[in-house]
Amino acid sequence: MKNEIVNLIDIHKKIYYNGLKELVVNDTTYYPISDIEFDEMETELKKIDSENSILQKVGTDYLTGDKVKHDRPMLSIEKVKESEGTGNIEKLLNNGRMLATHKMDGSACSLKFSYNKDNKCQFQTAATRGDGEQGEYIRQHAEYINFPKEFGANSSIDEIRGEVVISKDNFEELKKEMKKLGLEEPESIRNIVSGLLHRKEHKYLCQWLDFIAYDFFTTESINYFDKLRILNSLGFKTPISYNVTSNADINKVIEQYKQSKESEYYLTDGIVFRVNDSLTAEKLGRTSGYYKHSLAYKVASDTAIVTLKKRERSVNRTGKISYVGIYDSIYLGGANLTRVTLHNAKNLIDNEIGIGSKILITRSNEIIPFFIKTIEPSEVNLEMNCPCCNSELKWSESMTDLVCHNEDCSDQKLERLIHFVKEIGIDNLGQSTVKKLYDFGYLENYSDFFNITEAAFLNIEGFQKKSAKKLFEAIQDKKVIKMEKFLSALSIDGLGHTVSKDIKNEFKTIFNLMNCNELEQKLTSIDGIGDRISHSIVNLMDYIKKIHESLISIGCKIEDVDENIQITESVYTGKKFIISGSTEMGKKELYDIVKTFGGVQVSTVKQCDYLITNEQHNKYQEAVKYGKQILTEKEFIDSI
């Protein structure tokens, strides 16, 4: 039971911090859950194993872009739920005056600065929190985010930390712009920030984001109140703050926050109480995941009981049917609501969610609320026809989803084409443009994208010669497709980014994959790939070959290896590596060295031949358990 809870917490951290709509792990599809459900899992784990490392884990190491090592650990803040009372906050007050600030609901970010020739601090680079030790490189995104890119010399500030957020007004403007581009409109303010910071194209959309600063680093000892004052004087926005000198102040701040929360310009999800004196804060120290000078008070999410009036269905690119529940309009969490996410058919059956059911829903900074539990069940009658093409639906192997298997289902075909564009990263080719091209008959298969002429774009409203030429060139620039991108773009159920990378690392080339005699056996030997995913790939191999052949025939190339890295034959050639924990040179640089000497990067200890680590943490213990070879960073470098 403990291992199951740990795995679920880890999975939902990945979903939350990366703004994912779903995540497939070992043949199972996971969807976002509410704060209430996540907190319940953590509470349950604390009862079983209060020292479990997942409870101390900061953010997530599930990073999709280039990684950057933080100069100083970027830790989180320990949570105090409303149901737990204010006792721990009162104990923290024993260390002297505190400052309470609104906890911004966005994505934590680190900005690095250095002095220029005019002796001014100038913006250099930016990174997300990631797992606290390393984050994702987002300098190009940060150029568009609203914060001072240069300020007058002030002490020795070299790093400013804060939260990237979007205001409620800017969210509405962003939705209009994304609709204009033909991109999928965001449903959640909470997830859109993370989503924008992960985008490979349309980075300019980050101009609607703001950076709210809450800390900086300097050689001087400065109390927290003065830090916020200095940040304000330099032109940085900071969170709303209050002085706290008594227990009465703690309760007063909480009540004020509850009353003002819904009317605030930005979304917030609690209050941070922090010791003001810098020397005292430093003496309090830290755990592996949290600073001890602060606590985050989490106000309970808004909930309501609603009666389900009807269900709406849609079919996605893999044929799965998803459900949204409709109820009479209610006011909850600062918005008038009529819809709730119900996910899949199994969820409806397991929770007896039929028409007329009374269900408990919650909304905590999401646009569409989450289902929590059924209060009054009713009979579940599932439609067994596709909402698009009317084909008969069948249960998936996992008995989780109803699936439409009609390859000519128009909604599926369109969603697959949109997904292909997103995966291979064609700039400026948005969802609405793909739909128009599809409706005009220009698109039927993936290879059709590369046969579209400039003249074809001119038939679509809104395109001029210049924009048509630009989009035509952007598509032609994507004729070289990395193997893992090719695989993840095919809309095969379960074949996402991580699994596609693992397959590339195992098979090396698309030719090896397509011509493997014991394909299913080899696939299931890869950690993270179960029977369902391996069956899908094996059963659809003719489809994969057909798509590959069609793309090659119009001049595309599937790139098997990183052609920028010259491989040197060594004892590590063909060996599988995983690097864990903090490293001196940064993991990206270290992995590049591994690849230079013929090594292959994998995602789990179970898959690897070598673990490179400087710490005796969980992965170290796991490597010992599986009998893997363990090297420190220095030992590895010395060995080559």
- The pLDDT, as a whole number, for residue 64 is 54
Rounded Cα distance between 285 and 287, Å, is 7
Which phi and psi (to 5°) does residue 19 adopt? Answer: 60, 35
Q: Which of the residue ranges 74-83, 160-169, 445-454, 598-607 would you say has the lowest mean pLDDT?
A: 598-607
Within 529-606, residue ranges assigned H as helices are 531-539, 541-553, 587-596
Q: Which residues contact 172 (CB under 8 A, 6 or more apart)?
A: none
Band (pLDDT 50/70/90 cuts) for residue 290 is confident
Triad 447, 536, 416: Cα angle to 5°: 35
- The pLDDT, as a whole number, for residue 532 is 79
Assign domain 302-392 to a CATH class: mainly beta
Read off the amino acid at residue 337: L
DSSP per residue, 590-630? HHHHHHHTT-EE-SSTTT-SEEEESS-SHHHHHHHHHT-EE
Rounded Cα distance between 515 and 510, Å, is 9
Percent of the chain at pLDDT > 70 equals 92
Highest mean pLDDT among 180-184, 442-446, 506-510: 442-446
Read off the amino acid at residue 484: E
- What architecture is domain 482-559? Orthogonal Bundle (1.10)
3-state secondary structure of 503: helix
327, pLDDT greater than 90: yes
Tokens 């604390």, residue located: 46
CB atoms within 10 A of CB 462: 11
Taking the CA of residue 530 as centre, how many other CA atoms within 13 Å lie in the half-sphere pointing to its CB? Answer: 11
Q: Which residues contact 293 (CB under 8 A, 6 or more apart)?
A: 95, 274, 275, 280, 281, 282, 284
Burial 350-359 (b: 16+ CB within 10 A, else e): ebebbeebeb
Q: Which residues contact 261 (CB under 8 A, 6 or more apart)?
A: 268, 299, 334
- What architecture is domain 576-639? 3-Layer(aba) Sandwich (3.40)
Q: Which residues contact 566 (CB under 8 A, 6 or more apart)?
A: 596
Rounded Cα distance between 213 and 160, Å, is 7
372 neighbors 37 (Cβ within 8 angstroms): yes
- What CATH number should be reported for the domain whose range is 67-298? 3.30.470.30
Structure tokens at 59: 């953010």
Rounded Cα distance between 96 and 110, Å, is 28
CB atoms within 10 A of CB 177: 14
Burial 507-530 (b: 16+ CB within 10 A, else e): beebeebeebeebbebbeebebbb
419 neighbors 491 (Cβ within 8 angstroms): yes
1, pLDDT greater than 70: no
360 neighbors 373 (Cβ within 8 angstroms): yes
- Give the bridge partners for 297, in sequence order: 80, 271
* Predicted model pTM: 0.65
- The pLDDT, as a whole number, for residue 155 is 57
Tens of pLDDT, residue by residue over 91-102, are: 999 999 999 999
Rounded Cα distance between 566 and 568, Å, is 7
- List the one residue out of 15, 108, 13, 24 whose CA is nearest residue 57: 13
Percent of the chain at pLDDT > 90 equals 41
DSSP per residue, 17-58? HTT-S-EEETTEEE----HHHHHHHHHHHHHH-TT-GGGT--
Tens of pLDDT, residue by residue over 612-632, are: 998 877 788 888 888 899 999
DSSP 8-class letter at 208? G
- The pLDDT, as a whole number, for residue 153 is 64
Looking at residues 381-407, what average pLDDT do you find?
93
Q: Which of the residue ranges 4-13, 338-347, 462-471 would you say has the lowest mean pLDDT?
A: 4-13
Rounded Cα distance between 531 and 354, Å, is 32
Domain extents for the chain? 2-55, 67-298, 302-392, 410-478, 482-559, 576-639
- List the one residue out of 398, 366, 405 whose CA is nearest residue 384: 405
Tens of pLDDT, residue by residue over 33-64, are: 777 677 777 777 777 776 676 765 555 554 55
CATH topology of domain 410-478: DNA polymerase; domain 1 (1.10.150)
493, pLDDT greater than 70: yes
Tens of pLDDT, residue by residue over 330-371, are: 988 767 889 998 989 999 999 999 999 999 998 766 567 889
Taking the CA of residue 325 as centre, how many other CA atoms within 13 Å lie in the half-sphere pointing to its CB? Answer: 31
Within 127-277, residue ranges assigned H as helices are 139-142, 168-180, 189-198, 224-233, 247-260
- The pLDDT, as a whole number, for residue 418 is 92
Structure tokens at 389: 């093409």
Give the total residue count for the chain: 640
CB atoms within 10 A of CB 153: 12
3-state secondary structure of 207: helix
One fold for 302-392 and 410-478: no
CB atoms within 10 A of CB 543: 13
Stretch (H or E) spanning 130: none
3-state secondary structure of 567: coil
Rounded Cα distance between 464 and 433, Å, is 14
Tens of pLDDT, residue by residue over 240-269, are: 999 999 999 999 999 999 888 877 888 888
Stretch (H or E) spanning 269: strand 268-275
Highest mean pLDDT among 188-192, 438-442, 588-592: 438-442
- The pLDDT, as a whole number, for residue 57 is 59
* Mean pLDDT score of the chain: 86
Rounded to 10 degrees, what is the CA torsion of 40, 42, 45, 46? Answer: -110
- The pLDDT, as a whole number, for residue 122 is 87
Rounded Cα distance between 147 and 236, Å, is 6
486, pLDDT greater than 60: yes
Q: What Rg, from alpha-carbon coordinates, does the chain have?
A: 26
| Helical pair 410-424 and 431-439, crossing angle rounded to 10 deg | 130
Band (pLDDT 50/70/90 cuts) for residue 490 is very high
159 neighbors 218 (Cβ within 8 angstroms): no
197, pLDDT greater than 60: yes
Rounded Cα distance between 533 and 500, Å, is 11
Band (pLDDT 50/70/90 cuts) for residue 561 is low
Q: Which of the residue ranges 60-69, 319-328, 407-416 would you say has the lowest mean pLDDT?
A: 60-69
Rounded Cα distance between 64 and 23, Å, is 13
Tens of pLDDT, residue by residue over 176-186, are: 888 777 677 77
- The pLDDT, as a whole number, for residue 13 is 76
Structure tokens at 25: 């792990």
